[in-house]
């Protein structure tokens, strides 16, 4: 049933809507019959009662839910049992609300090990889209680091392997091309953040074949709209937006400010959803990867991947409202 719900596209006609409502009623009836009133059940109802937004990975056509999860700093929790328990629930809320892409890196201290520990206990994780990075110098060192990451996550293979901040990119690019041919990874990516290396990245993207690009993009940091996002669109590269909340700073900027009345028309009920819907409504962006240590924030963030997305004029209004 999950599969059926996930495949519903954005342009539901009345026949599909009737079918969808029937499916939903069956699901609710089944849950009631099973006596399920747990948070898992309510999350399932939440996830299935709305319209999940997904976007295509251009190089394959595969669909990806527009909200993923970052792990930088938030998952560096190996030595904090209380936080580990909370993060287990954070990850569970992610999967219960149809989350798929989790992004990490060997740069994020214990985050990969924590991701692996939590994945072992997580339910509903079949749709995991595992993404990490290679962040070292030298061919052999890169191969060993990727192998170590795979063991830490406890998975057979990564869906996406990204070259972190272009570090030794030529060497790793060649390794990744071979790994992709051999079926050891499914997609190749490259990342940057904080607006660094954009000139070099432009050249790298123009002259090579990447499936994914990861960069910083949010409502107050839109530099990439000028050059990098158009290149990604031209070349058919999927784009992951990191730092969608500018590391949390955006919430400080709107402290004490009310959401505009028209936000409800876009299915937006919090500033988190306002910021995320802005990011994922850019046509070049495939998904955003907010990071959190809190279940209530995870549920809030996952809410942004349902319903409608702002159009171009509404995106302009969103920027104007914050100015
Ligand atoms: N070069 C690269 O490859 C690169 C660079 C930067 C980032 N990244 C990736 O991108 C991910 C996201 O970036 P980021 O972690 O730097 O920053 P971010 O996602 O923009 O912001 C994270 C902060 O926002 C808060 N937050 C999350 N959801 C919230 C909500 N609904 N309401 C209020 N506060 C909320 C979190 O605090 P709470 O814990 O309190 O929720 C956390 O402090 C990283 O984790 C990493 O995976 C990659």
* Nearest-angstrom CA–CA distance, 215 and 123: 30
Quick check: CB of 110 below 6 Å from ligand 1?
no
Quick check: CB of 70 below 6 Å from ligand 1?
yes
Compute the distance from residue 290 Cα to the ligand 1 centre, in Å.
5
**Are residues 46 and 24 in contact, defined by beta-carbon separation less than 8 angstroms?**
no
* Nearest-angstrom CA–CA distance, 283 and 311: 10
Half-sphere exposure of 137 toward its Cβ, with a 13 Å CA cutoff? 0
The tens place of each residue's pLDDT in the chain, 323 residues long, gives: 333 322 223 333 333 333 333 344 333 333 333 333 333 333 333 344 468 999 999 999 999 999 999 999 999 999 999 999 999 999 999 999 999 999 999 999 999 999 999 999 999 999 999 999 999 999 999 999 999 999 999 999 999 999 999 999 999 999 999 999 999 999 999 999 888 899 999 999 999 999 999 999 999 999 999 999 999 999 999 999 999 999 999 999 999 999 999 999 999 999 999 999 999 999 999 999 999 999 999 999 999 999 999 999 999 999 999 99
Compute the distance from residue 174 Cα to the ligand 1 centre, in Å.
30
Residue closest by Cα to atom 47 of ligand 1: 70
Quick check: CB of 49 below 6 Å from ligand 1?
no
Residue closest by Cα to atom 37 of ligand 1: 292
Label residues 105-119 b or e (16+ Cβ within 10 Å = b).
Answer: bbebebbbbbbbbbb
- pTM of the predicted model over 0.95: no
Residue closest by Cα to atom 11 of ligand 1: 70
Quick check: CB of 72 below 6 Å from ligand 1?
yes
Compute the distance from residue 245 Cα to the ligand 1 centre, in Å.
6
* Continuous segment of H or E residues that includes residue 89: helix 81-96
Compute the distance from residue 244 Cα to the ligand 1 centre, in Å.
7
Pairing of strands 185-191, 158-163: parallel
């Amino acid at each position: 049933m999950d599969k059926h719900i996930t495949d519903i596209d954005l342009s539901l006609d009345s026949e599909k809507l009737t079918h969808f409502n029937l499916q939903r009623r069956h699901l609710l009836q089944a849950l009631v019959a099973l006596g399920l009133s747990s948070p898992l059940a309510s999350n399932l109802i939440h996830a299935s009662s709305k319209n999940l937004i997904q976007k295509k990975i251009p190089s394959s056509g595969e669909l990806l839910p527009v909200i993923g999860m970052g792990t930088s700093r938030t998952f560096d929790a190996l030595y904090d049992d209380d936080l580990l328990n909370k993060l287990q629930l954070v990850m569970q809320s992610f999967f219960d609300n149809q989350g798929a892409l989790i992004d990490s890196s060997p740069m994020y201290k214990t985050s990969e090990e924590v991701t692996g520990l939590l994945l072992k206990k997580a339910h509903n994780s079949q749709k995991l889209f595992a993404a990490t990075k290679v962040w070292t110098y030298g061919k052999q060192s890169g191969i060993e680091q990727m192998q170590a990451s795979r063991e830490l996550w406890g998975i057979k293979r990564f869906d996406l392997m990204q070259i972190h901040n272009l570090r030794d990119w030529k060497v790793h690019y060649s390794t990744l091309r071979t790994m992709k041919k051999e079926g050891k990874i499914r997609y190749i990516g490259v990342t940057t953040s904080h607006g660094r290396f954009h000139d070099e990245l432009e050249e790298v993207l123009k002259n090579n074949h990447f499936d994914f690009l990861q960069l910083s993009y949010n409502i107050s940091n839109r530099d990439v709209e000028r050059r990098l996002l158009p290149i990604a669109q031209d070349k058919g590269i999927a784009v992951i937006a990191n730092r969608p909340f500018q590391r949390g700073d955006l919430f400080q900027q709107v402290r004490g400010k009310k959401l505009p009345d028209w936000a409800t028309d876009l299915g937006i009920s919090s500033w988190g959803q306002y910021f995320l819907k802005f990011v994922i409504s850019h046509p070049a962006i495939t998904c955003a990867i907010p990071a959190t240590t809190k279940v209530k924030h995870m549920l809030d963030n996952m809410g942004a991947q349902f319903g409608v997305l702002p159009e171009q004029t509404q995106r302009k209004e969103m920027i104007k409202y914050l100015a």
